[in-house]
Amino acid sequence: MKRIFILFIAISLSFSIPKNMLKKIDKEVLLVFNIASFSKEIIIIDKDVNSSLTIPFQKDNFFKILVDKDLIGYFYYGKAPSKTDEFDFLVIFDDDLIIKKIKILAYREDYGMEIGSKRWLKQFNNLSKGDQVKYQKDIKAISGATISAKSMTKAVNDLLQSLTILQNKNKL
């Protein structure tokens, strides 16, 4: 009994995406791909490769999305800074690593929540590895959410650049 309890704790601690976020992530994946169910597989990036990335991948924030063992896409769960805190976001990719959707999962500030609007986030759809966008040029500014909007733009650019590096090193 003691071993089972210790194993449960080890598994729980090794997966740090909060349970309420996992529910939101699962819901978004089901909606984006219009599927009834899926499984996810953690993508683990070794330390040497991870140190060369612009946005390091943790052991539990980048996943393959599988339906009947067939790859249909990927998702990345990340955090980015806002004015005084940070927000949680989700990026869902198709199997060619093209962004299908970005969703702000948790925003913890009184101002700047506008970055969570579907209309603003749609600007990132169809970007893929190798793409880079500029805030106020390619991505529209948001009055009252400047810090968060810049931060989201940087996070997406860093993620896409890291995916390019991973693909060039045959890690995906």
**Distance (Å) of CA 53 to CA 47, 84, 124, 163:** 10, 26, 20, 8
pTM of the complete model = 0.89
Structure confidence at residue 112 (pLDDT): 87
Tens of pLDDT, residues 62-74:
999 999 999 999 9
The tokens describing 86, both together, are 């940070």
CB count within 10 Å of CB 42 equals 14
Residue 3's pLDDT band (boundaries 50, 70, 90)? very low
Choice between 107 and 171, residue whose per-residue pLDDT is larger:
107
User: 139, 105, 95: which is closest to 26 by C-alpha?
Assistant: 105
Structure confidence at residue 61 (pLDDT): 94
User: 88, 95, 59, 63: which is closest to 76 by C-alpha?
Assistant: 63
Highest mean pLDDT out of 47-61, 87-101, 138-152? 87-101
Residue 9's pLDDT band (boundaries 50, 70, 90)? very low
Rounded to whole angstroms, the Cα distance separating 22 from 87 reads 15
Which amino acid is located at 125 in the chain?
N
3-state class of 167 per DSSP?
Answer: helix
Per the CB < 8 A criterion, the answer to whether 149 and 135 are in contact is yes
Structure confidence at residue 56 (pLDDT): 80
The tokens describing 116, both together, are 């969570």
The tokens describing 71, both together, are 């790859």
The tokens describing 70, both together, are 């067939």
Place of tokens 């499984």: 39
Rounded to whole angstroms, the Cα distance separating 154 from 162 reads 12
- Spacing of C-alpha 152 from chain mean position: 11
